Chains A and B, each alone.
Chain A
């Protein structure tokens, strides 16, 4: 029999805050963490804004002897995992538990730094731990080592859907009984010169802000950070007295098989319907959708049409919190799941920076400030380059 799966812990480091409390506060205020980029060689970039984790001091979190092994993404992931496990409390069978994280760039900053060392600075030697530091699976392995997780541990990479795939797979493992508990989420840190050069070449980045579904939107803005959640079997969580944050009700994943960059309306509708079907609920049970909402002309128009296709012209409240924390690429779904938890607690995070909604994106868009709402189920969308889509449906803790 399929087990019910609940979330009992959450942790994060992202541009809105270096823990969940600060992030919830920022989300509720509609705070925009996008600003001028503070990175080396920014003057050579055309796109000079981003959502950075500012004032990050690794030495506050890690011993100096450990830092050579920890790319920025791994640092964010480890701090997030520690917060999530602390919140989940004692009694989780960690030796049987696992960890799945999503990332798109892996240790891209480490790669960038070391290419500079050998190609630009002309040195013939790099630090001996470059490989275990840059490997995309490093954050998962570091979490496994730190907390003694001996179950299924690996990284998934599906561009902007990576986190939703990671959380969805962890959900399925707990639901099927393969693992009693899983840590899942995503980590990303590619706000480096090389990473941003590649992105700006695509000509989809905004030079001045992320305004999803807005009439004057002109592209996406990149962010960085991580979020990690503890998923476990509901009965076991209740038996050990854990505080349940939400229940994971359903998951879907599909591929459009249509275009390497453009999303497909038909594909977006299909993956949302499959998530509802997996959750066993009707469209009208959803009270909030955390949209993929990148702020690009194409995504937002197609996603809005797909939402109307599934939910009708009077569908649920929608927001894109990328307007606040930027697009964390492989970690974005994980940070956006925090906005879903907030919605289940009665407060919908707004889409920031929107003055006039695009008539072509007709939705019940929450803008400006948070909206109070009694939400019984939420849907969160991730639609990645390559047509790889993944949706999660969450319900309240006491369903």
Chain B
């Protein structure tokens, strides 16, 4: 896992209350116990940490690209690259 991946996993670990070692790339956020409120808190923390803007509307959550740990990391990487470009 690269640096961004590790930081995202750390945030998810803190938000979900699970050990970092228990966080796997293919896990869904739902399986981590991330409910709708924790999700918006997590997104806020990702935005603050990486200085990015995550496009997310809770009413369209199923199409947000935030389903699994791996997809969250991929989205953050993409947004960090976009910011740097």
Question: A residues touching B (Cβ–Cβ < 8 Å)?
Answer: 201-207, 217-219, 260-262, 296-298
CB A150 to nearest CB in B, in angstroms, measures 44
CB B57 to nearest CB in A, in angstroms, measures 6
In angstroms, Cα B57 to Cα A205, docked, is 7
- Say yes or no: B59 contacts A296, CB within 8 Å: yes
What residues of chain A lie closer than 8 Å to B58, measured between beta carbons?
202-204, 219, 296-298
Q: Indicate whether B43 reaches chain A with its CB closer than 8 angstroms.
A: yes
In chain A, what residue has the closest Cβ to B64?
Answer: A203
Q: Which of A203, A206, A219, A298 has the most CB of B within 10 A?
A: A203
The contact of B36 among A207, A219, A261, by CB within 8 Å, is A261
The contact of B59 among A201, A218, A261, by CB within 8 Å, is A218
Chain B 52-63, CB-CB to A under 8 Å as 1, else 0, gives: 000011111100
- Say yes or no: A218 contacts B36, CB within 8 Å: no
In chain B, what residue has the closest Cβ to A260?
Answer: B37
What residues of chain A lie closer than 8 Å to B60, measured between beta carbons?
218, 297
In angstroms, Cα B60 to Cα A4, docked, is 46
The contact of B57 among A201, A203, A260, A262, by CB within 8 Å, is A203
17 contacts between A and B (CB under 8 A): A201-B40, A201-B44, A203-B43, A203-B56, A204-B59, A206-B57, A207-B57, A218-B57, A219-B57, A219-B58, A219-B59, A260-B37, A261-B37, A296-B59, A297-B60, A297-B61, A298-B59
What residues of chain B lie closer than 8 Å to A218, measured between beta carbons?
57, 59-60
**Given A260-B37, A261-B37, A262-B36, does the pair A297, B44 have CB atoms closer than 8 Å?**
no
In chain A, what residue has the closest Cβ to B56?
Answer: A203
**A interface majority secondary structure:** loop
What residues of chain A lie closer than 8 Å to B43, measured between beta carbons?
203
The contact of B40 among A202, A296, A297, by CB within 8 Å, is A202
What residues of chain A lie closer than 8 Å to B44, measured between beta carbons?
201
In angstroms, Cα B59 to Cα A339, docked, is 27
In angstroms, Cα B40 to Cα A357, docked, is 27
CB A216 to nearest CB in B, in angstroms, measures 10
In angstroms, Cα B57 to Cα A76, docked, is 31
In angstroms, Cα B36 to Cα A261, docked, is 9
In angstroms, Cα B36 to Cα A298, docked, is 10
In angstroms, Cα B61 to Cα A298, docked, is 11
What residues of chain B lie closer than 8 Å to A203, measured between beta carbons?
40, 43, 56-58
In chain B, what residue has the closest Cβ to A46?
Answer: B53
- Say yes or no: A217 contacts B59, CB within 8 Å: yes
Q: Which of B9-37 contact A (CB under 8 A)?
A: 36-37
In chain A, what residue has the closest Cβ to B44?
Answer: A201
In angstroms, Cα B63 to Cα A313, docked, is 30
Sample of 15 further A-B pairs with CB below 8 A, known A297-B58, A297-B59: A202-B40, A203-B57, A203-B58, A204-B59, A206-B57, A206-B59, A217-B59, A218-B60, A219-B57, A219-B59, A261-B36, A296-B59, A297-B60, A298-B58, A298-B59
What residues of chain B lie closer than 8 Å to A297, measured between beta carbons?
58-61
In angstroms, Cα B44 to Cα A217, docked, is 23
CB B40 to nearest CB in A, in angstroms, measures 5
What residues of chain A lie closer than 8 Å to B57, measured between beta carbons?
203-207, 218-219
CB A304 to nearest CB in B, in angstroms, measures 15
What residues of chain B lie closer than 8 Å to A201, measured between beta carbons?
40, 44
In angstroms, Cα B59 to Cα A217, docked, is 8
In chain B, what residue has the closest Cβ to A220?
Answer: B59
In angstroms, Cα B61 to Cα A203, docked, is 10
In angstroms, Cα B35 to Cα A298, docked, is 13
What residues of chain B lie closer than 8 Å to A296, measured between beta carbons?
58-59
In chain A, what residue has the closest Cβ to B55?
Answer: A46
In chain B, what residue has the closest Cβ to A262?
Answer: B36
CB B73 to nearest CB in A, in angstroms, measures 20
